[in-house]
């Protein structure tokens, strides 16, 4: 009790604060999401995400080498698919010579120790912008899962270390595990997007991949709320994470990040596997916009948010700030 105990004794200066700091960050805590485009020597900035680019495979490989040199050990990759390759089956997703498969091979050849976690979902390949196959006016769960298994196995054949299903279909983790094992990929892991909320924070990401739901000549859902989670729910997130672990997930993810730290802690307390948190495009864009206007100190708010995500229970943070934060930490 005061005055015997004074909390401020442990805050006197930075040396003392660093001695008793409960949470720390390092570049190895980060995974960098990367957008890949067709062509060569292509680098196109995404307008709603300053500093983030769609890159062709050759420039992606160079960026991966830089990330690895900074201490970042994982990348989460997405592809911008040409419209003429999109349909309602998603079949381009498991093309062995597709853009994603070529990118995985190129990254692993150039930087074998970088952990590559390709996205497993059909929305970049869908003519309707949904995460699965449209049937009778909705996303067909089981037919979509069949497609996701083929997609994940093709990623493993290309050299992926983990597959990262972001689709939120029921039962897909078990089917992916069975499919990977049947194909001989027992050591390819699954990082499941277990608690992925139907969030408005994804807008810039959908700009990057042109993956928002689209108007169609058939009945399609106007949004993704029939498969992504209601952001009013907490217990559901725990249930989803526990089911994914039971089905064989090696890691689970909570998405978005800062607005969902209560969910991060709940999931961390409930599961016995690492928890990844996706610090998403909208959260990134808000900091960039506010700092450009002089309303926030960019680096300070960036590091504070990343530290808070780690403090809440994240084992790994997928963040568009990964490179910037790693440079600061290395200084």
Helix, strand or coil for residue 279?
strand
Helix axes 57-70, 322-330, angle to 10 degrees: 30
318 CB-contact burial (10 Å; exposed 0-12 / middle 13-18 / buried 19+): buried
The two three-digit tokens of residue 71, written as one number? 């201490």
Output Rg (C-alpha) for the chain, integer angstroms. Answer: 20
Look at the alpha carbons of 64, 68, 71, 72 in this order and tell me if their dihedral is positive or negative.
positive
Q: Which residue has the tokens 């027992």?
A: 186
Q: Is 331 a catalytic residue?
A: no
- pLDDT at residue number 214: 72
At 206 the pLDDT is 79
Domain 30-330, what fold?
TIM Barrel (3.20.20)
- pLDDT, one tens digit per residue, over 17-75 is 999 999 999 999 999 999 999 999 999 999 999 999 999 999 999 999 999 999 999 99
Query: Which tokens in the block code for residue 48?
Result: 């709603």
CB 42 within 8 A of CB 59: yes
Q: 255, 288, 310, 323: which is the annotated catalytic residue?
A: 255
Banded model confidence at residue 205, pLDDT cuts 50, 70, 90: confident
Question: pLDDT band for position 155 (50/70/90)?
Answer: very high
Token digits of residue 146: 């069949």
Q: How far apart are CA 197 and CA 224, in angstroms?
A: 9
The neighbour count for residue 5, using CB atoms within 10 Å, is 7
Q: Which of 80, 86, 105, 196 is catalytic?
A: 196
Region of poorest pLDDT, from 79-83, 164-168, 206-210, 327-331? 206-210
Catalytic site residue 288? no
For residue 301, the model assigns a pLDDT of: 98
The tally of CA atoms less than 13 A away on the side-chain side of residue 329 is: 22
Whose tokens are 């089981």? That residue is 142
pLDDT confidence tier of residue 220, bands split at 50, 70 and 90 = confident
């Amino acid at each position: 009790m005061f005055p015997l105990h004074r909390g401020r004794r442990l805050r006197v200066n930075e040396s003392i604060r660093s001695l008793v700091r409960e949470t720390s960050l390092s570049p190895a805590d980060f995974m960098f999401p990367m957008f890949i485009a067709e062509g060569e020597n292509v680098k196109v900035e995404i307008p709603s995400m300053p500093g983030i680019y769609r890159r062709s495979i050759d420039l992606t490989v160079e960026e991966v080498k830089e990330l690895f040199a900074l201490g970042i050990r994982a990348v989460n990759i997405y592809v911008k698919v040409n419209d003429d390759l999109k349909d309602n089956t998603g079949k381009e997703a498991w093309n062995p010579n597709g853009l994603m498969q070529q990118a995985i091979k190129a990254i692993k050849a150039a930087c074998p120790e970088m952990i590559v976690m390709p996205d497993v979902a059909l929305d970049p390949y869908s003519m309707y912008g949904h995460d699965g196959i449209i049937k009778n006016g909705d996303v067909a769960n089981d037919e979509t899962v069949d497609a996701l298994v083929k997609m994940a196995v093709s990623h493993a054949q290309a050299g992926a270390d983990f597959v990262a299903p972001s689709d939120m279909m029921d039962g897909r983790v078990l089917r992916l595990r069975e499919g990977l094992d049947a194909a001989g990929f027992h050591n390819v892991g699954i990082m499941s997007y277990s608690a992925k909320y139907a969030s408005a924070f994804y807008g810039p990401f959908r700009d990057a991949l042109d993956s928002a739901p689209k108007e169609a000549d058939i009945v399609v859902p106007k949004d993704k709320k029939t498969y992504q989670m209601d952001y009013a729910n907490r217990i559901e997130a725990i249930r989803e994470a526990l089911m994914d672990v039971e089905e064989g997930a090696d890691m689970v993810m909570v998405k978005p990040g800062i607005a969902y730290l209560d969910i991060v802690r709940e999931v961390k307390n409930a599961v016995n596997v690492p928890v990844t948190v996706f610090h998403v495009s909208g959260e990134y864009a808000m900091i960039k916009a506010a700092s450009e206007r002089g309303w926030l100190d960019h680096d300070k708010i960036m590091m504070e948010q990343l530290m808070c995500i780690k403090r809440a229970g994240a084992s790994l943070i997928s963040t568009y700030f990964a490179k910037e934060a790693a440079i600061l930490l290395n200084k």
